[in-house]
């Protein structure tokens, strides 16, 4: 895979490194038999394979920078900007550890511990470990959908009477500007097959969770047309959830790339491009107002360039815009306001 290096901007506070380390884990602490080490290997391999697949389609290489943070850990950011197919695509891997303010506990876990307020009163910071891969891809052609995925493992240590906890989270979801039922059946069908291999209850549960999580509350509509989403998952052996997360992230290319290849050369009008930009505006609204990953990153002093990598290069807001009844744009909006079952 071709990867080009970039210069470190002068406003970065991270430690930019030229050589990507074999592992971002703590030497001598996180041994190879731990879930932490196994998960890092999964996400590092996924970053390589997914970026290679995207570059093969687009023809332009990703820019890469590797970084470490003062509190511990680091990451590898790969971004493709103004490509032949994608306006912007990024795939980030991070493995970080240190301590976080108690307020970040609520952002990291959808259901914070019952004794959190009592523990906060005792003072101090929460020791944590977090590893994950995250990606957003915004194509140029309005007939090609945006896609997002994120898979993560989080662990805290004992703190002020609250026992250490661990959980997995993640998912893959799709955000088209136009409804193509065949494409949605392919995307959702791919992830239903992944889920069914591990637990037949997963797909209906995680599809519903995805529809409910990605709601833009002030718009009363979803960001896109769903996929799967799960969080705080620790209801079974960690190795089993690791296997499911591995299967899911390894099917990103199969679920998404055939749709891009199908539509990347479709013709489109200026009006269709403007509609895509309006939907991109909705994407921005959700990520900045509601997304837990963005909130957690900002509250823990995360790397700003990586956190905001999900933002599209361009977007649009029009006053009181409503598509014409019966139009393809109105159909997409209806699907966003009334989530549909695709498989």
| Active site (catalytic) residues | 148
Query: What's the token pair of residue 204?
Result: 């209906």
SS3 150: strand
3-state helix, strand, coil in the chain (%, to 5): 40, 25, 35
Beta strand spans in the chain (E) = 3-5, 15-17, 62-68, 73-81, 86-100, 126-139, 146-156, 166-175, 215-216, 221-222, 227-233
Quickly tell me which residue has 């999964």 as its tokens: 42
Asked whether the beta carbons of 75 and 66 are under 8 A apart, the reply is yes
Is residue 249 classed exposed, middle or buried when 0-12, 13-18 and 19+ CB atoms within 10 A define those classes?
buried
Asked whether the beta carbons of 251 and 198 are under 8 A apart, the reply is no
Asked whether the beta carbons of 166 and 155 are under 8 A apart, the reply is yes
Q: In angstroms, what CA-CA distances link 253 with 47, 57, 147, 172, 201?
A: 11, 11, 11, 11, 24
Phi and psi torsions of 16, nearest 5°? -80, 130
């Amino acid at each position: 895979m071709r990867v080009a290096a970039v210069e470190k901007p002068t406003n970065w506070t991270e430690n930019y490194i030229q050589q990507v380390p074999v592992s971002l884990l703590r030497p001598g602490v996180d041994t190879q038999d731990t879930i932490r080490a196994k998960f890092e290997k999964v996400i590092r391999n996924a970053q390589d394979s997914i970026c290679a697949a995207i570059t093969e389609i687009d023809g332009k290489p990703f820019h890469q920078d590797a970084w470490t943070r003062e509190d511990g850990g680091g990451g590898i950011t790969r971004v493709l900007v103004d490509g032949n197919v994608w306006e912007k695509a990024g795939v980030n891997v991070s493995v970080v550890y240190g301590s976080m303010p108690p307020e970040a506990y609520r952002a990291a876990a959808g259901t914070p511990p019952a004794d959190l307020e009592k523990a906060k009163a005792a003072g101090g910071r929460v020791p944590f470990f977090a590893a994950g891969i995250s990606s957003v891809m915004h194509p140029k052609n309005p007939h090609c959908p945006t896609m997002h995925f994120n898979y993560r493992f989080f662990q805290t240590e004992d703190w002020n009477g609250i026992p250490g906890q661990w959980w997995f989270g993640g998912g893959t979801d799709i955000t088209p500007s136009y409804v193509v039922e065949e494409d949605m059946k392919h995307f959702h069908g791919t992830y239903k097959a992944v889920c069914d291999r591990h637990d037949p209850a997963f797909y209906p549960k995680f599809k519903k969770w995805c529809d409910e999580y990605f709601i833009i509350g002030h718009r009363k509509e979803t960001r896109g047309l769903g996929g799967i989403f799960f969080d705080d998952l620790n209801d079974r052996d960690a190795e089993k959830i690791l296997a499911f997360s591995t299967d899911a992230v390894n099917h990103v290319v199969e679920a998404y790339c055939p749709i891009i290849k199908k539509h990347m050369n479709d013709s489109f009008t200026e009006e269709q491009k403007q509609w895509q930009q309006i939907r991109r505006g909705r994407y921005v609204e959700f990520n900045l107002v509601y997304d837990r990953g963005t909130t957690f990153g900002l509250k823990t002093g995360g790397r700003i360039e990586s956190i905001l990598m999900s933002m599209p290069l361009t977007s649009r807001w029009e006053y009181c815009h409503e598509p014409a009844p019966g139009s393809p744009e109105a159909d997409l909006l209806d699907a966003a306001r009334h989530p549909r079952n695709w498989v």
